[in-house]
Amino acid sequence: MFQKLLTTFFIVILLLASPQFAAAQASEKTTLSVSAGYNYSEGDYGQVDETKVHYAPVTLKLTRGEWAVKLMVPYIRITGPGVVVGDVPVGTPQPVGTEEGLGDITPSLLWTHRLNRFGTTAELQGILKLPTADEDKRLGTGLFDFTAQAGLIQPIGRAYLNGNLGRKFNGNNATFPLRDVWKYTVGGGYRLFDHTTVGFLYDYRERQSTGSENLSLATGYISQMLSDEWTVQLYGSAGFTDASPDSNIGVQVTRNFDLF
């Protein structure tokens, strides 16, 4: 079932975008962006002891025309009672300890299309989670996941609104009896200066297992273009449920390259 859903999603994107992709091959340039980030979060997830997560992803993004392919490779370090496996709160406390190593690698495919002269842009995205994190260290579930989502972006002068709706198809087994869930993000931003943007996002996701809670997370961010090639972004989040981190801060630095 999972493989059929994955195959169908990518075929639909290919059929929808093939004329635009062919035109892009002739007229659009190809760019590569390389990002390095660091994220720190902590929360009790309904337990006495807190879980602290250090997350350091490196992301490659290749863009041509309306298409983009991304690959994110993270390193993760978790200190806590073992109630969080990857990004899944499981609520089965163990002795407090620290584990670290390679996280789950996530390739994704993104198609964007401008809909009208007002700049309204639609997005379709498929995200595959590869189970590369060590499940014995409880850095991941050891299962494949796939997320399909669609979104809209609407510029309004120096501001913009954005939102997306997605369905996450979780792998599951006897150890991790996870459900497929709906998720959405809404937000917006404002360009304070030519190279400085501030924004806000709210993320919601249904509970992934029996006995867990919905994820509810609010994030504020500021993005600063240092030059045509370099961008830095700072962000902070606050969670409102036991399935969410209590607090979360991070930074991401991106370097853009024009390839051809």
- Flag whether 198 is in a domain: yes
For residue 173, the one-letter residue type is: N
> Would you state the pLDDT for residue 47?
87
- Flag whether 129 is in a domain: yes
Domains held by the chain: number: 1
> Would you state the pLDDT for residue 27?
52
- Flag whether 133 is in a domain: yes
- Flag whether 34 is in a domain: yes
- Flag whether 168 is in a domain: yes
> Would you state the pLDDT for residue 83?
84
What pTM, to 2 d.p., does this model score? 0.87
- Flag whether 130 is in a domain: yes
Residue 247 domain boundaries: 2-255
Average confidence (pLDDT) per 10 residues, the chain, 260 residues: 50 48 59 97 90 97 95 96 82 85 97 94 96 92 95 96 97 90 97 96 94 94 96 97 95 94
- Flag whether 260 is in a domain: no
Q: Residue 117 is part of a domain; what is its CATH number?
A: 2.40.160.40
> Would you state the pLDDT for residue 28?
76
- Flag whether 28 is in a domain: yes
